[in-house]
Amino acid sequence: MLKLPKIIGHRGACGYAPENTLESIRTAADMGVEWVELDVKLTKDSIPIIFHDDDLDRTTNGSGPVREATWEDIQQLEAGSWFADSFSGIKIPSLEETVELLIDLDMGLNLEIKPCAGREIETAEIALDMLSRYWDAHDRLLISSFSHVSLESARDLAPDWRRSLLLWHEDMPADWVELADYLDAATINISDQLATRDFIRQIAEMEKPALVYTINDPHRARILQSWGVASMFTDVPDVILEGMLQVH
């Protein structure tokens, strides 16, 4: 059984620290967050790194596609000052050092496989191979992806690790129920825009937990909780934790 917490820190605690960084993970841990969600991609030389976008421009002082940057290139980049001056100088972490930190902090992980186009199988294979060397807690690891090819690879490579089918309101596969069954998805992770009472009920009828991203409003969190949502991803874990503890 997965030990899903009520909330999962989105890209760490990215409302308070630069997303997908060790600092963001530590910030989440300091708030009492038990799990974080992070994105993994590959460098040009196939090193798995924690990074969301296909391009470097938004969150670093670099530019251009991640897939064209080597690990050596990535290590030269600065990935904090875009967020706040106090974070200047921090780096894009490798999956390896990230997993070591999570184990040290005793945190669970939802790892989203976020492949560059054409690297769906390779990203899954390399990331899961790296994880397999470190990660023992099967009940505190969830592998998710929008890429059905990546999830299929994950299923074939590491069948014992739970997988999640990610669904987004603007690009919903019509056959998502069949996909979830085919991929043997343990959870269905959906965007807030998809999270109606009926849709949550439909997932419940499949006997799978529904997880919803990205919830930053405590009132919305309480509504979703009342509908039976198992877990929510949030940029502001302290706000949502506090809001969910309030009597209503």
Active-site positions read 10, 52
Alpha helices in the chain (DSSP H): 22-30, 71-76, 95-105, 120-132, 148-157, 176-182, 197-205, 218-226, 237-245
Q: Which of 214, 242, 216 is nearest to 37 (CA)?
A: 214
DSSP at 161: S
Residue 4 burial by CB count (10 A; 0-12/13-18/19+): exposed, middle or buried?
buried
Look-up of token digits 């502001």: 236
Element (H, E) at 165: strand 162-167
